[in-house]
Structure 1
C-alpha cells in the first residue's frame, strides 16, 4: 500500500486547499495545549512525502514531527523535505507507533485505505496514550462533474466498490471511512468533530484531473464495468469537479 511521489505531488495543492480550516485550527490548538510551553511532538501516520507537515507548518513551525511510513523512499523524501524524524513501520504494528511524549497524531488520505478493525485498534491505542487524532481528506464517495455524463453514476458506484477492496490490511472502509471512523472514535470515548473537505477542481488542475480520471476509470474497469474506459476517454476533456472528502478531529 503505497503511492508514487509524482501522484502525491500532483494532489498536494488540491489537498491543501480542501482541508477544513476550522478543524485544522482545532488540531493546531490541541497540539499546543497538550504541549504546554514545550514544542509540540506530532506523529504523522502514512506520511508519504510530508504533506501533512507542510499543511501545518505555518501554524506550528516549532513542532517536532515523527514521520511514520512503510515506504522507505517516501519516508526518506519526507524526512529530507521536512526535517522530521523517520520511523519505518508497517502500520499493522500499531503497538510500535512512537507515541511516547506525543501531543497529537495526524494522517491524511489514509483512513479510506484501512479496515474497520484497524481504525478501532488505532482508537484504542490513542485512547490509552491520551493523544488526540486529526485525520484529513478521507474520500467520502461523492463525485460531482460538470458537465454531467450518462455514465457518471455507474462509474462512481464501481469506483466506490473498488475502494472497499483489500488494500493490504483487509477490506478497506473506502468511501465509508470518515463516518465510520467518527463512530468508532466516539465509541472509544473521544469527542469527535467532522467537516467536509472536498476537492474543487478547475482547469488549473488539468494534470491532476487527467491522472484522477485515468485512475478512476482503471479502478472501475477492474470491478467489471466494461464502459469505464469509454467514460475515461470522454472525461479527458476537462470538466469542473467536486470530489468529496471528510476531515476528522478526535479528542480523548
Structure 2
C-alpha cells in the first residue's frame, strides 16, 4: 500500500478545498493549547500543511508512514517541531501516543479493514485521545457530461477498493459509515461531514490522473470497457467536471467534556 509523491501533490489542493471546515476547526480546538498531533499515513505532510495554520505556533507533530522517501519530504514542513516515524500501521501498539493530544489521518480509512479500525478505536479510547479522519472515499462518483458506462465503472472501482491493500480486505466505500459505527460502539462521540472533491476543467491534470487510476482499477476487476472509458474521459478532462464523494469524521473519546 503506497502512493507516489506526484499523485499526492496533484490531489492536495482538492483535498484542502474539500475538507469539512467545521470539523477541521473543531479538531484544532480539541488539540488544545499545546498541541501534539500524531498523523497516520502522513505521506508528504498534507495534513500538517492543512491543519497546521489552525494550530498554535508551538504545535508539535509525530508523522507516521512506511515510506522513507515520503517521510523525508514531510519532515521539512515543520523543522524542529516534527518527528518522523517509519512504522508499519499493523503495529498499533507501536504508535508514539505518549503526550499526543490529537490523532489524524487523511484518505486512509477506506484502505483499511474493519478489524484494524476497531483496534485503533480501542487504542485511542484507552489513551483518551480524539481522532480526526478526513477524506474517506464514500463510493459516489458523478460526471458531467455523463457517459453510458459511468455507473459500471463506479461499481467496478468500488469492488476493487474493497480488495486487500496489505492488511486484509479494505472497507473501501463502506469506510465512513463503518468507522463511524465502530467509534461510537467504542464510546466515542462522533461527528461527521461531507468533503467531496469537485474537479473542474481548471484541474485537468488531476482529473486525468484520477481517471487513469479509476480505469486501471476497474479493468483489474475484469471490466473490459474500462480502458476505453478511461481514454474517453481523459480526452474530455479539459471540458468536464466530476464529483468524488468523501466523508470526514471527528471522534471524541469517552469522558471528553
Instruction: Give the TM-score, by structure 1 length.
Output: 0.97
In the TM superposition, residue 62 of structure 1 has moved relative to its aligned partner by 2.5
Bigger CA drift: 53-62 or 210-219? Answer: 53-62
2 CA distance for matches of 1:65 and 1:21? 21
CA contact (8 A) 1:54 1:82 kept: no
Work out the CA distance in 2 between the residues paired with 1:196 and 1:162.
22
Alpha-carbon distance in 1 for matches of 2:95, 2:225: 43
Residue 175 (structure 2) aligned to one of 174, 177, 201: 177
> Please, what TM-score do these two structures have when normalized by structure 2?
0.95
Alignment of 1:99-118 (within 5 A): 99-118=97-116
**Residue of structure 1 equivalent to 2:247:** 246
Within the candidate set 23, 39, 43, 1:44 is matched to: 39
Taking the aligned partners of 1:214 and 1:68, their CA distance within structure 2 comes to 28
- Taking the TM superposition and a 5 Å limit, the aligned residue runs for 1:7-22 are 7-22=7-22
Q: Secondary structure at the match of 1:148?
A: coil
Q: How far does the alpha carbon of each residue in 1:2-57 deviate from its partner, in whole angstroms, 9 at most, with x for none?
A: 1000000000000000000000001001112xxx4xx2100000000000000011
The 1-side partners of 2:36 and 2:72 are apart by: 19
Is 228-237 or 12-21 further displaced after alignment?
228-237
CA contact (8 A) 2:199 2:242 kept: yes
Moved more, 73-82 or 225-234: 73-82
CA contact (8 A) 2:49 2:77 kept: no
- Say if 2:54 is the partner of 1:53: no
The two structures, once aligned, show a CA RMSD in angstroms of 0.7
Residue in 2 aligned with 1:157? Answer: 155
Find the aligned partners of 1:71 and 1:183 in 2 and give their Cα distance. 30
Are residue 70 (structure 1) and residue 66 (structure 2) matched?
yes
Note the 1:206-221 alignment, pairs <5 A.
206-221=204-219
Superposition deviation, residue 74 in structure 1: 0.5
Q: Separation in 2 of the partners of 1:15 and 1:130?
A: 28
Q: Is the CA contact 1:44–1:107 (under 8 Å) kept in the aligned structure 2? A: yes
Paired with 2:58 and 2:145, the residues of 1 have a C-alpha distance of 45
In the aligned structure 1, how far is the partner of 2:36 from the partner of 2:167?
27
Match of 2:23 in 1: 23
CA deviation string 1:58-91 (max 9, x = no partner) = 1113210000011111111100233311011100
CA distance in 2 between partners of 1:82 and 1:205 (Å): 28
Aligned equivalents of 2:222, 2:49: Cα separation in 1 = 39
Cα distance, 1:203 vs structure 2 = 1.0
* Unmatched tracts of structure 2, length 5 or more: none
